[in-house]
Amino acid sequence: MREQLERLRQEAIRELEQVKTSAGLAELRVKFLGRKGALTEILRGMGSLSPEERPVIGQIANGVREAIETAIEAKERELSEAETAARLARETIDVTLPGRLPPAGAIHPLNRVIMEIEDIFTGMGFTVAEGPEVETDWYNFEALNLPKDHPARDMQDTFYITDEILLRTQTSPVQIRTMQAMGGRLPVRIICPGKVYRRDDDDATHSFQFTQIEGLVIDKNIRLSDLKGVLLEFSRLMFGKDTQIRMRPSFFPFTEPSAEVDVTCVHCRGSGCRVCKHTGWLEILGSGMVHPRVLECGGYDPSQVSGFAFGMGVERIAMLKYGVDDIRHFYSGDVRFLQQFARA
């Protein structure tokens, strides 16, 4: 048994010299010193020894165990140091190299235009109002002078949830809700930004979801000239101080009289180009004096007060302002498109 223990010690030392990894070292420890290891197998034969030999062999076995454990610990330190050195070599960096800046984020162009429009109108005394995107038929149509049999409803192909619940087709319902909340108090000066939904086919100029900003002013002695003055100031602040506007007669059920508003072409400044179809003008919004029926639905007496309203598509303004030729770019999530709007 003495010879077996000596051979075991030599074999363990020899195999330790070949170990290259911590995992291999763990396997070797189990092989020689584990509960079913080689040393345990040899010691099971001690029962056949005489009482005088057992203490001697036991002492030799303990010496072999200590020698193997000492060798394993020394190898463990060696491997740990080697692995640490290798990791440090892999992770070495040149601290003198210039840093790499992460990509800069940017405000989405539509949000940027909304913020700019809000800044312009709040600077003129307006406040920002919001309302639900899921609306009732009454707020979205009837309170805006569009009864159920009104032919103008065909102008807006609507997403209905039930016969009386729908996705709003305009932000005008916010105007009615605000008027009701005001309880007849004056003045009312609000803009209403938000998403709206219509059953349009997606193409370069149409989308089933888009963004509107509508405005409403109610007070005593409000005139059409007040509307023109507000829109002229807005246009000059948005598109340049030399911008002019023109108002063309139109029809909207919730305003009377109604007008489409054009601005000087932002590309040719009125001289005529392909974008404005050589007219020098670009349409940007619809407007008009608030219909008496709408004032009544909002809780105001049309014989005592008057008002004007206007509405614009944010995508339309953004396309003109930034020269974007396809509305779908705003919703594509294409980072290459959005990076163009990152601030320097």
Tens digit of pLDDT for each residue in 17-39? 788 888 887 887 787 777 777 76
Q: Are strands 209-219 and 188-197 parallel, antiparallel or unpaired?
A: antiparallel
Q: pTM of the entire structure?
A: 0.69
Cis, peptide link before residue 257, omega less than 30° from 0: yes
How would CATH label the architecture of 109-341?
Answer: 2-Layer Sandwich (3.30)
Q: Can you point out the beta strands (E) in 78-181?
A: 127-128, 134-136, 165-167
Residue whose structure tokens are 């312009």: 120
Tens digit of pLDDT for each residue in 138-186? 999 999 999 888 777 776 688 999 989 999 999 999 999 999 999 999 9
Q: Is the dihedral of CA 33, 34, 35, 38 positive or negative?
A: negative
What's the whole-number mean pLDDT along residues 82-101? 84
What's the whole-number mean pLDDT along residues 272-292? 92
Domain boundaries, the chain: 2-90, 109-341
Distance separating the N- and C-terminal Cα atoms of the chain? 82
